[in-house]
Structure 1
Amino acid sequence: MIRCIAIDDEPLALRQITGYVEKTPFLELSASFNSALKAMDFLNENEVDLMFVDINMPDLTGLDFVKSTSAKAKVIFTTAYREYGYEGFQLDAADYLVKPIGYPDFLKAVTKTKERFFTKKESVETIEKNDQYLFIKSEYKIVRIDFKDITFIESMRDYVRIHLDNQKPVMALMGIKKMEDFLPTHYFMRVHRSFIVALNRITTIERNRIVFGKDYIPISEQYKDAFQEFLDTRFLK
């Protein structure tokens, strides 16, 4: 399922888009918002795959919202004005829908987005796993990565960067959620929407951040309780 949010300050337009999402089998509506500012608060603690963003909104336009957010989601812009199409595609938008939007046009856009950004990944992700190592495709090569060498894993849009002890990081075309599902939970923990850490490599925690040399990994509110539970079982008081 592709997790979605919809943002539009017009109630009817927002209701139409959310209705289209709910009737499309491969889409899942995570939330809807009548302002980009409210959506930004949600994205600070939640991950989505696709955003439907109206361009003409007060306070913060859809274009400025996409420029300012750090969310890794793909974007389909919606607007009544065709002239914004070029600027939208400059922001690497997946597609651009002009109001009034009929369901056939909506379905065509999301199907194309699914095939382009979400279906192809399955063929290039992890191909073997066990409790000691995994194999992934990286830069046209198949690379073995031992779990004991991983310090942390960082999400970078459609890729993950696997940071290794005394080795060059490895980049792979894969979502961080997919990587999280493959990793053994007794070795690794998600501590932020963009970071997974190797628990046995943690040596220093400072101001709600995990320190790996010069890298500081934030612990977000969403994962704070689970991480604290891990600490409590190993904390000498």
Structure 2
Amino acid sequence: MKVDFRHILYIEARKNYTRLVLEERPTALVLVTLKQWEKLLPRELFCRIHRGYIIAIDKILSFDNKYVYLSGEKIAIGEQYRNALPDVVTILSNDSFREPIRSIHSDVLSELEL
């Protein structure tokens, strides 16, 4: 199974398996742990926000101290991961647009073969 990083919305732990939640594609259950995903995924594109979740940084709509908001999803931020997002995401505000602008490093896009 090939997975294009650009299609991953988030990855959820399921014991020794993980559930890949993909944009506009069916979810997939794979025999890869979150710890293994952390080693495989580019740090510029993904962030672990909970012991059970890794999210795609460029898919973040907004976040606060408790939750990350993705398209149709609200994922809790774990206590020990509270500082992870501010370290990798910079939110800039432009008053003329009234929308947040996320600044991320997205120059590393690739495919992973499972």
> TM-score, normalized by length of structure 2?
0.74
Matched, 1:165 2:23: yes
Shift of 1:188: 0.4
The aligned counterpart of 1:175 is: 33
Identity of aligned residues (%): 29
Equivalents in 1 of 2:72, 2:64: separation in Å? 12
1:236 to 92, 100, 110: 92
C-alpha deviations, 1:11-55, integer Å up to 9, x for none? xxxxxxxxxxxxxxxxxxxxxxxxxxxxxxxxxxxxxxxxxxxxx
Partner of 1:219: 77
8 A contact 2:11–2:55 mirrored in 1: yes
Q: Is 2:70 the partner of 1:209?
A: no
1:27-106 correspondence to structure 2 within 5 Å: none
The structure with more strand, counted as a fraction of residues = 2
SS in 1 for 2:54: strand
State the distance in 2 between where 1:218 and 1:154 align. Answer: 12
Write 1 or 2 for the structure with the bigger share of helix.
1
1:122-174 CA distance string (max 9 Å, x none): xxxxxxxxxxxxxxxxxxxxx10000000000001111000000010011012
Q: Give aligned pairs, total.
A: 93
Alpha-carbon separation, structure 2, partners of 1:194 and 1:200: 19
Q: Indicate the RMSD between aligned Cα atoms, in angstroms.
A: 1.5
After TM superposition, the runs of 4+ consecutive aligned structure 1 residues lying more than 3 A away are none
Give yes or no for contact 2:48–2:84 (8 Å, CA) kept in 1: no
Distance 1:183 1:166 in 2: 20
CA distance in 1, matches of 2:82, 2:64: 14
Q: Distance in 2 between matches of 1:211 and 1:226?
A: 15
**Structure 1, gaps ≥5 residues long:** 1-142
Residue 192 of structure 1 aligns with which residue?
A: 50
Structure scoring higher RCO (CA < 8 A, sep ≥ 6) equals 2
